[in-house]
Amino acid sequence: MKSRIGIVGGGQLGRMLGFAAKRMGFIVSVMDPTPHSPAGQVVDLQLEGDYSDPEVTEELAGISDFITVEIEHINTDTLKKLASEGAIVNPAPRTIEMIKNKLAQKEYLAKNKIPTAKYLEVSSIKEIETAAKQFGFPFLLKAKLNAFDGRGNALIKRKEDIAKEFMRLGGKDLYVEKYVPFVKELAVVIARDIKGKLISYPVVETIHKNNICHIVMAPAPINKKYEQKAKRLATRVMNHLKGAGVFAIEMFLTKKGEVLINEIAPRVHNSGHYTIEACYTSQFEQHIRAVTGLPLGNPDMKVPAAVMINILGERKGSADVKNLEKALRMSNVSVHLYGKAETKLERKMGHITVVGKSVEECLNKAKKARKTISI
């Protein structure tokens, strides 16, 4: 049996993938520029190197039977080369390449007639002002590349904001997106094995602040018809993507009952963290199964409800966890800390999951548990 997995990226997603893979008996290596990274702390080997470093990527491939990723902002040219030489790389490098460029992602959705917000590529303040006349205020100004966890996005509420945000985002590689007046943000985590079989997890509701996910509620408290619509749309999206693994499809539910695609992640995702405690097969185990050719596991929830709440940094400095024991005294509360040495404002330092009989019960307890911990 091939037993060596290489993961490009050593953050918290790689850490949780590492835990799952080690439990299944795999030898796991990661590459990450940060010494003693969150994933590096729990796997067999960490290669230190930037995500874009071709030499380190090739070194990782040389000691791995299977290559996968925990972040999309990586050197896809090297991954394409490795795949062409026979390396088993999942998801498909071309899919990762398309998704990591958010404008290319939008164009791909539009080309395949998948509903998403209207958008326009822009390269100057004048072009943004023209787009504002077409879309109206507010609208979003977004970076094509390296945009995640609130970075690379700006909500433009008035004309006076345009020049400032244009410069803040670097003044190039930008596009404008029409603001969608949604009533809920939804997400579907969906997995595909190497033979093409698809299975999806329950539809969840996500609550964001400053473009960062704060809370995930499972299952989403929505009408059954919207749940079915979201799952069908996620399957449509997956039919246009290549490669095995877990993907996350983020969506908007509008006042008119439309479901639109917001973004795609070609990897395990924040909206699926709750699956560790709440589902028969976590998204992390599922991803390992998918990329190594093993049968997919049962994605169903084994509890009636679950809520995940992120533990975000509230200051800048060395991480110092306090009052963890208070949260752990609460029933059905699980705390995951990511082992990051430095805390920063709104940096993801860990998460809390609560399982229970109802989303409302879990949400109240998750908020209470979150208030007890500082980091």
**pLDDT tens digits, 136-167:** 999 999 999 887 666 788 899 999 999 999 99
CA distances from 90 to 24, 142, 198, 221 (A): 18, 27, 15, 33
Residues in contact with 374: Cβ distance below 8 Å, sequence separation at least 6, in sequence order:
314, 320, 321, 322, 323
Rounded to an integer, what distance in angstroms lies between the CA atom of residue 33 and that of residue 40? Answer: 10
Q: Is 141 left (phi over 0), alpha (psi -120 to 50) or beta?
A: beta
CA distances from 213 to 10, 25, 251, 299, 335 (A): 20, 32, 13, 22, 17
Q: How many residues are there in the chain?
A: 375
Q: Write out the E strands in the chain.
A: 4-8, 27-32, 45-48, 66-69, 119-122, 139-143, 153-156, 174-178, 182-192, 198-200, 204-209, 212-218, 245-254, 259-265, 305-312, 317-318, 333-337, 342-343, 348-356
pLDDT at residue number 188? 98
The 10 Å CB-count burial string (b at 16+, else e) for 311-334 is bbbeeeeebeeeeeeebeeeebbb
Structure tokens at 325: 């024991």
| DSSP string computed for 49-63 | --TT-HHHHHHHHHT
- Specify the amino acid at residue 284: F
Residues of the chain with pLDDT under 70: 148-150
Rounded to an integer, what distance in angstroms lies between the CA atom of residue 283 and that of residue 73? Answer: 20
**121 three-class SS:** strand
Nearest Cα neighbor of 176 from 133, 146, 237 is 133
Q: Pairing relation of β-strands 66-69 and 153-156?
A: unpaired
pLDDT at residue number 149? 62
Judge contact between 166 and 128, C-beta under 8 A.
yes
Rounded to an integer, what distance in angstroms lies between the CA atom of residue 301 and that of residue 277? Answer: 9
pLDDT at residue number 141? 94
Q: Name 27's bridge partners.
A: 4
pLDDT at residue number 151? 74
Rounded to an integer, what distance in angstroms lies between the CA atom of residue 43 and that of residue 60? Answer: 13
The DSSP code for 296 is P
